[in-house]
Chain A
Amino acid sequence: DTEVTQTPKHLVMGMTNKKSLKCEQHMGHRAMYWYKQKAKKPPELMFVYSYEKLSINESVPSRFSPECPNSSLLNLHLHALQPEDSALYLCASSQVGGVRAGELFFGEGSRLTVL
C-alpha cells in the first residue's frame, strides 16, 4: 500500500478548465514535492515545500499553482494549461535534513491529459 496518496489518478481537462491535483501523506514528513514526468524520462522537480512553506520553485509557469494547507496535504492547482503539460504528476514526501531528505516516498501519480 502506498503511503502517499494522490487523487485523481487520471484527469482530462481542456485548456480553459481549472482543476486541482491532491496529495496526502501521514508519515509525519515535513517536506513535500511536486514532480512532472514525461514518458520514459526522469522526474522533473517543480516545487518543494518545507515545513509548509514554499522553498523551491523551479521556474514553473504560473498556470501551475501549488498550495500546502497543512503538513499532510499538498495541492497543485491547474489553470489554462497547454497540451504540452500532459504528463504524469508525482507527489512525494520526505523528512527534512541529511540523507533522509533524499529518501523520497512517491505517490502513484496523477496522469494528466490536456486537450
Chain B
Amino acid sequence: AQTVTQSQPEMSVQEAETVTLSCTYDTSESDYYLFWYKQPPSRQMILVIRQEAYKQQNATENRFSVNFQKAAKSFSLKISDSQLGDAAMYFCAYKGSSNTGKLIFGQGTTLQVKP
C-alpha cells in the first residue's frame, strides 16, 4: 500500500525568506503523480503544484518549486520569498494510476509566516 509521510508537523519562516517542506512516500508503482495542496485557515484547499513521476525536471509555479528525488522517494516543496498569505496547512499527496483522483495525503505541515 502507498503511504505519504510529512515529518514536520509545524514550520515557521520569516517573511521574504525561503522555507522547504519535506515529504516522503512509499510505492511500488512506476506511474504516479505527486501534489502539494494548501489549506489556509477556514478557507478552501487549493492545488499548489504537481509533478508527474515520469518527468525528471522539477516542477515550478512562480515562488513554489519542488525537489523531486524519485529514487529516494522524496518530494519537498520550496517556497521562496515567503509572504503572509502563504501561512496555511500544506498537504503532500500521492495519486497512483487509477483514473479518478483517489489521493493519499500526508499528515500535513502547518506553516507560520512571521512578519
A contact residues vs B (CB 8 Å cutoff) = 2, 4, 31, 33, 40-43, 45, 48, 50, 55-56, 90, 92, 94, 96-99, 101-109
Residues of B within 8 A of A43 (CB): 45, 91, 105
**Chain B 20-41 per-residue mask, 1 if CB under 8 angstroms from chain A, else 0:** 0000000000000101010000
Contact, CB under 8 Å: B99 / A106: no
Contact, CB under 8 Å: B100 / A99: no
B contact residues vs A (CB 8 Å cutoff) = 33, 35, 37, 43-47, 50, 52, 89, 91, 93, 95, 98-103, 105-108, 110
Closest B residue to A111 by CB, please name it: B42
Contact, CB under 8 Å: B35 / A103: yes
Contact, CB under 8 Å: B100 / A50: yes
Name the prevailing secondary structure of the B interface residues: strand
Interface-centre pick from B93, B105, B106 (highest chain A CB count, 10 A): B105
A98 shortest CB reach to chain B, Å: 8
Q: How far is the CA of A109 from the CA of B46 in the complex (A)?
A: 13
B92 shortest CB reach to chain A, Å: 9
Minimum-distance CB pairs A-B, first 8: A42-B105, A102-B95, A106-B45, A94-B101, A101-B101, A108-B44, A97-B99, A102-B101
Residues of A within 8 A of B102 (CB): 45, 48, 56
A31 shortest CB reach to chain B, Å: 5
